[in-house]
Amino acid sequence: MIHKGFLGIIILLILLTGNVSQVYATSDWDTALEDINALHDNYIDSQEVIQLDNLKIKKLRKQNNDDLKSVKAKLNTIDQILLSRLKTEAELIQQKHSSLLKQYSTLSKQSAAAKKTNDTKAVTIFDLKRNKLKPAATAARAEVKAKTEALTAARKQTATKTKPTKDILTLVTTLKKQIVAENKKLANAQQSRSEADKLYKAAIKQGDAISAATEMKLSYQQMDKIKTMQKNLYELEQRIAVALRSAESKLPQ
């Protein structure tokens, strides 16, 4: 924390490093010194507020990120065992009947091709082979269809149960995009403020009260913008915190 009595040191530096006779002969210089005196306490206070607000935002953001990770992890466990089992069963039944169904499909295609060339002998042979496999192929398709439909139905049911939470997480994503945009504006303001603050301090070393006052005001203006942006960021993080609590409460039990 910078002690407010530091102002006396600033003024002393300006007086020592500047041309004293010219300083007091220039009303603009006196006015600038008065401006620095009037703004100094608020200038220091703003720096402290910005630092505290930054810590407050970081703390809430970390908590939100942890909570978001937790909600997503819980969301991924919903019906996971059931869906995994049904998926495995669907894959196994498809593998089991893959050769038979492929053979049946090939014979159907061969028969159709033979019909186009009027090769009745080939058609007869292909149809005989295909029809011999038809009962088994029909049963196999029914088994595959049943397992696939069971998996699809379970996925739909899970999607319905998790939709309220996922909808809220979509809102969280939107809020995070707004935070990214606000952070970009904040970074620009911080850079402008930093540049003005450096020029302000350089002007003090040179005993240039007029330039010091000008840069101090510019830096202060940027700090006002920064405080407003930080307020916006904190409010966005608060909205995310509320949304995440709602998202967790809507998770299927």
pTM, two decimals, is 0.77
Summarised one tens digit per residue, pLDDT across range 203-215 is 999 989 999 999 9
**What pLDDT shows up at residue 253?**
80
Residue reference for tokens 């003090």: 204
Task: Please indicate whether residue 62 or residue 29 has the higher confidence score (pLDDT).
Answer: 62
Percent of the chain at pLDDT above 90? Answer: 84
| pLDDT average, residue stretch 138-164 | 96
* Domain spans of the chain, in order of start: 6-249
Q: Name the token pair of 242.
A: 């509320």
Q: How far apart (Å, rounded) are the C-alpha atoms in residues 145 and 45? A: 71
Please, are residues 39 and 197 in contact by the beta-carbon 8 Å criterion?
no
Confidence grade of residue 2 (pLDDT, cut at 50, 70, 90): very low
**For the range 225-229, what are the long-range contacts, defined as Cβ-Cβ under 8 Å and sequence gap of 24 or more?**
225/189, 226/50, 226/186, 226/189, 226/190, 226/193, 227/46, 227/49, 227/50, 227/53, 229/182, 229/185, 229/186, 229/189
Q: What is the mean pLDDT of the chain?
A: 90
**What pLDDT shows up at residue 21?**
44
Please, are residues 42 and 126 in contact by the beta-carbon 8 Å criterion?
no
On the question of pLDDT at 55 being above 80, the answer is yes
Summarised one tens digit per residue, pLDDT across range 9-27 is 555 555 545 544 454 445 8
**What pLDDT shows up at residue 8?**
53
DSSP code, position 180: H
